[in-house]
Amino acid sequence: MVKIEVGSVGDSFSVSSLKAYLSEFIATLLFIFAGVGSAIAFDKLTSDGALDPAGHLKCLDRHYPTVTLGLAIGGNITLITGFFYWIAQCLGSIVACLLLVFVTNGKSVPTHGVAAGLGAVEGIVMEIVVTFALVYTVYATAADPKKGSLGTIAPIAIGFIVGANILAAGPFSGGSMNPARSFGPAVVSGDLSQIWIYWVEPLVGGALAGLIYGDVFIGSYEAVETREIRV
């Protein structure tokens, strides 16, 4: 059985842990800045008539809180450490969106939402499936101690599944797979109407992947110190 550890606040505030949280804050800020910035640029180009795209291909994300939860449920990091990672990630997302509003002279920050004609249930199921696929792939290629290091295969496989998930879910539920990606834009724009969806669906999918992969394919864990696995 997977061994989920709560951990302690003291352990989660060691020097190495604080450095890891700062790293998560900076990394999330940079990648949310790039991801949401690409969406703002996409909207500007298409509204100005410079582009006439046929698809919904403006998602460029990193999937921090979802994978963090999956790793915590799978026993790779403690729950308390995962919680502090979440705080750092969400703060990074908010700061990135505030910077985008500033540098684009007040351009609106696009938020995630379920497509017209679909309900919350359809959006939740869609995101649960694609998030499960993402976290399962992270486990299979980067977080399974029985497989060891897979070198460059891991990021390539993860990149492929992220791209495929965005193509599949983007036009319907936004293809978020990431509460931080949805949280920052929602807070900065002031539109929190659908943010609950983008916390429920990715976290359910990530938790299920962590439980299933940990119990079925890894089986059991020894006590594991916090380790950083980026997606």
- Read off the pLDDT of residues 174-189 as tens digits, 9 standing for 90 and up: 888 888 889 999 999 9
What pLDDT, on the 0 to 100 scale, is given for residue 156?
86
Structure tokens at 112: 């995630």
**Dist CA 205 CA 100 (whole Å):** 29
Secondary structure element (H or E) that encloses residue 194, with its range? none
Q: Is the separation of the CB atoms in 140 and 213 below 8 Å?
A: yes
- Sign of the Cα pseudo-torsion (155, 11, 4, 69, in order): negative
Percent of the chain with pLDDT over 90: 32
CATH class of residue range 9-218: mainly alpha
With beta carbons less than 8 A apart as the criterion, state whether 184 and 34 touch: no
Reported confidence tier of residue 231, pLDDT bands at 50, 70, 90:
very low
- Count the neighbouring beta carbons within 10 Å of the beta carbon of residue 54: 5
The overall pTM is greater than 0.75 = yes
When the pLDDT of each residue in the chain is averaged and rounded to a whole number, the result is: 81
Is the model's pLDDT at 80 over the cut of 80?
yes
Kindly state the average pLDDT of the residues 81-106. 94
Identify which of 190, 157, 195 has the alpha carbon closest to the alpha carbon of residue 174: 195
The Cα–Cα gap between 36 and 177 comes to: 14
The CA distance from 173 to 94, in Å, is 21
220 class by beta-carbon count within 10 Å (0-12 exposed, 13-18 middle, 19+ buried): exposed
From the list 230, 229, 226, the residue with the least C-alpha distance to 12 is 226
Count CA within 13 A, CB hemisphere, residue 119: 1
Q: What is the pLDDT confidence band of residue 121, given thresholds at 50, 70 and 90?
A: very high
- The predicted-structure confidence for 16-53, as pLDDT tens digits, reads as follows 889 999 999 998 999 889 888 888 887 777 665 444 33
Instruction: Specify the 3-state DSSP secondary structure of 177.
Output: coil
Look at the block and give the residue holding tokens 């059991």.
220
